[in-house]
Amino acid sequence: MALNLGLLLLLFYSSYSCCLSFSESATGLGSSSLRFEEKPNFVILLMDDMGWGDLGVFGEPSKETPNLDQMAAEGMLFPDFYSANPICSPSRASLLSGRLPIRNGFYTTNKLGHDAYTPQVIVGGIPDEEILLPELLQKHGYRNKIIGKWHLGQQPQYHPLKHGFDEWFGAPNCHFGPFDDKKTPNIPVYKDADMVGRYYEDFLIDRKTGESNLTQIYIKEATSFIEAQTTKGQPFFLYWAVDATHEPVYASRDFLGTSRRGLYGDAVRELDSGVGEILATLQRLGVDKNTLVFFTSDNGAATYAKTNGGSNGPFLCGKQTTFEGGSREPTIAWWPGHISPGQVSKQTGSLMDFFSTFLDLASIPAPADRAIDGISLRSALLHSNVTDRPIFYYRGDLLMAARLGQYKAHLWTWTNGLEEYHKGIDFCPGENVEGLTTHKQTNHTDSPLLIDLGADPGEKYIIKPHSSVYRKEMPAILEAVSKHLSGLKPGVPQLNWCDSAVMNWAPQGCEKLGRCLPAPKSQPYKCVWPH
């Protein structure tokens, strides 16, 4: 079986360079009879580079997330919840499409197994062929808003309002900067279809102190949207994609210096406060029992940022790796009256499951013309049931690992190259597992490395191939991998080409502000992805 899998992987990688809302019966949450009266609202609170170990409820010793801890006490924790990729853009593309990056095109073939995302110079973006969650909700009467970072392409054809969102306040890229607006333009901030300013010019981030009021703006945008939609009586989907915990980390004046964890902790505390305000708004307006809220993160904490990054708790390594620290996310579901409080789900989940879950709960059929990788969590949320399913860990175009049950098989391993490592870029600071945290891409497909994530969540102990556990568990994992790869049709890679001419020189609406910048001549080149 292992030899067949190795051959299959080699062949694969060489083959391409009406109305509803839930009201449980009076007999309790366990009842199977549900009464549909109005459509449920949906909220995703997506953090940026926040780690599993950053929440008090997951063991952060300073206990500085009281609102999130309370959300967990009133809802359901998902300790085994994953992103579809350990870096931002592919993860977000998968969340909204319900499909792995290898299917939706958010990967590169420029270098095997290398991470890629959407910096300003990227030519590609979310393809029109992808059907996103907000598009389907919009067609069924929902009003959808994204607040914060989009990161699925900055050219106009890729913007959120072209892909199912009705409103947008935020930016197409990360808040890197400040730039000189000559060699590199500062990142624009949009209000719906038009730019309303730029980071570091109109929306300030003090790089010395870390002060910025952006999170407060994002909180107000969220509560105002909820209030407006509640007044209209129209169902809504709110995608709160805030980014204060992504470097350069920032927090508003009232939160600066309030955490024992430094600036990163200040940002976490402010985001926690924002979550509290959003949930309180739902309760104050009386729509909490008709609104399913998920809190999660796009990928693991950026451990290479050291104290300017978060914590992945007991898990190995961090962002950009397919070890648990890079892919496992702090996830909480909250839905008063439907989710029994204080639960811990044993369901293995994925950010891609939001797609299938929301469509299921809104009685909207999923597209039947494509593979959907997410599953509906309805049964897990309402009845604490568990659905067996595999988890596939991709890094770029390379399937690195797979999990089934509590066992994980590493097909390939690597952290980052020695050249970067010697420059101080360390994806696994203070951690080294011999044979696992390799500094070169190492192919294990002939004899995958097996880890028992139940007994060894930190991936420190590799199970020997001759053991009875290996012989029992590995065949089922390899069968799931073989089935996945044999039916896989990769999407056209969107992250291969870069061009300075496509940067944010003249965003839509810049002419109204007199803030358009001249773009250089187009000179496309293959993007360089170092890790």
| Positions marked active-site | 88, 151
Task: Collapse the DSSP code of 94 into the 3-class scheme (helix H, G, I; strand E, B; otherwise coil) and give the result.
Answer: helix
Give dist(CA 303, CA 429) in Å, integer. Answer: 7
Euclidean distance between CA atoms 440 and 423, whole angstroms: 16
- Dist. CA 244–CA 239, nearest whole Å: 15
3-state helix, strand, coil in the chain (%, to 5): 30, 20, 55
- Measured over the CA atoms of residue 380, residue 384, residue 387 and residue 391, the dihedral's sign is positive
For residue 303, what are the contacts with CB-CB under 8 A and spacing of at least 6?
309, 312, 317, 318, 319, 325, 426, 427, 428, 429
* Joined tokens for residue 292: 């399913």
Q: Residue 514: is it exposed, middle or buried by C-beta count within 10 angstroms (0-12/13-18/19+)?
A: exposed
Q: How far apart are CA 7 and CA 443, in angstroms?
A: 12
Alpha-carbon 467 to chain mean position = 36
CA 459, 463, 464, 470: dihedral to nearest 10 degrees? -140
Rounded Cα gap, residues 135 and 393, in angstroms = 27
Token digits for 485? 């790869």
Nearest C-alpha neighbor of 49 from the set 333, 329, 392, 416? 329
- Contact residues for 308 (Cβ-Cβ < 8 A; gap 6+): 247, 249, 262, 263, 264
Tell me how far apart the alpha carbons of residues 401 and 485 are, in angstroms, rounded to a whole number. Answer: 12
Contact 173, 120 (CB under 8 A): yes
Both tokens of 502, joined, read 């496509």
Which DSSP symbol is given to 46? Answer: E
Q: Is-contact 44 146, C-beta < 8 A? A: no
Q: What are residue 494's phi and psi, to 5 degrees?
A: -95, -10
* In contact, 204 and 175? CB cutoff 8 Å: no
d(CA 313, CA 65): 15
Residue with token string 């870096």: 87
Residue type, 338: H
Judge contact between 271 and 47, C-beta under 8 A: yes
At 243, list the tokens: 């980014």
